[in-house]
A and B are shown apart, each in its own frame.
Chain A
Amino acid sequence: AQSVTQPDIHITVSEGASLELRCNYSYGATPYLFWYVQSPGQGLQLLLKYFSGDTLVQGIKGFEAEFKRSQSSFNLRKPSVHWSDAAEYFCAVGGRNTDKLIFGTGTRLQVFP
């Protein structure tokens, strides 16, 4: 069965520090992978996506993610976090085996000045 695991429920970083949010997936075929961000009271906004090709993908707001097939991971990174990055981050998997996205439980990011 398809699933997504985000092992970190809550992460706190200082502004300007680097960030890595973990995502592991289970999918029976070539996965399509996504990271979404949700600010309080808002819907989800797509940060970046991976379908194929270069395993390092660039997204909006300075985020990037790396697909590692051998580790079934798609971790999200940012070299320097801004206070406005405080939000909930969701990893999701989909693909040709299913027409829907499976979301992880999310990681809440808190940023201290």
Chain B
Amino acid sequence: EAGVVQSPRYKIIEKKQPVAFWCNPISGHNTLYWYRQNLGQGPELLIRYENEEAVDDSQLPKDRFSAERLKGVDSTLKIQPAELGDSAVYLCASSPPGGLAGFEQFFGPGTRLTVL
């Protein structure tokens, strides 16, 4: 079974430029998460999708961050414009439907963003 796929793995941009990250979850997983992991910290949730619906985006900085999950499968996270403080690893995770299994999240390898 293929795992969570993310691209690109690394991205270097200058501040004020836009950037986008892509995630393909595990087949059959209806819940998708985007996390930001700052250096030396644990992941922090940015947004959670149940199928196409964003059910928790309370931690997403909506002035510059946006996300979409068309057709309830792949997802894209965008930052426009990027700031120096956005340098971090952006992790995508997915979980299967139903009960306790829904609490078990499977993570992708992440995208390491460097903003210069």
Known: A43-B110, A44-B91, A51-B100. A106 touches B40 (CB 8 A): yes
Tell me which of B60-68, B71-79, B80-88, B101-109 binds A: B101-109
- Chain A interface size band reads 20 to 34
Q: Tally inter-chain residue pairs, CB-CB below 8 A.
A: 53
Q: For residue A43, which residues in chain B have a CB less than 8 angstroms away from its CB?
A: 4, 91, 93, 107-110
Chain B contacts to A: CB under 8 angstroms: 4, 33, 40-45, 48, 55-56, 91, 93, 100, 103-110, 112
6 contacts between A and B (CB under 8 A): A36-B107, A41-B112, A43-B93, A44-B93, A46-B106, A106-B41
B33–chain A nearest beta-carbon distance, Å: 8
* New A-B pairs, 18, CB < 8 Å, besides A90-B42, A92-B42, A103-B43: A32-B100, A34-B104, A36-B107, A43-B91, A43-B108, A44-B91, A45-B107, A46-B104, A49-B104, A51-B100, A51-B103, A94-B103, A100-B45, A101-B45, A101-B105, A103-B44, A105-B42, A106-B42
Chain A contacts to B: CB under 8 angstroms: 4, 32, 34, 36, 41-46, 49, 51, 90, 92, 94, 99-101, 103-106
Per the bound structure, the CA–CA distance linking A92 and B109 in Å amounts to: 18
| B110 and chain A: residue at smallest CB distance | A43
Q: For residue B93, which residues in chain A have a CB less than 8 angstroms away from its CB?
A: 43-44
| B100 and chain A: residue at smallest CB distance | A51
Contact B40–A105 (Cβ < 8 Å): yes
Known: A42-B109, A100-B48. A105 touches B41 (CB 8 A): yes
| A98 and chain B: residue at smallest CB distance | B56
A87–chain B nearest beta-carbon distance, Å: 14
Contact B109–A103 (Cβ < 8 Å): no
Known: A44-B91, A90-B42. A101 touches B103 (CB 8 A): yes
Q: For residue A106, which residues in chain B have a CB less than 8 angstroms away from its CB?
A: 40-42
Q: For residue A36, which residues in chain B have a CB less than 8 angstroms away from its CB?
A: 107
Per the bound structure, the CA–CA distance linking A45 and B112 in Å amounts to: 17
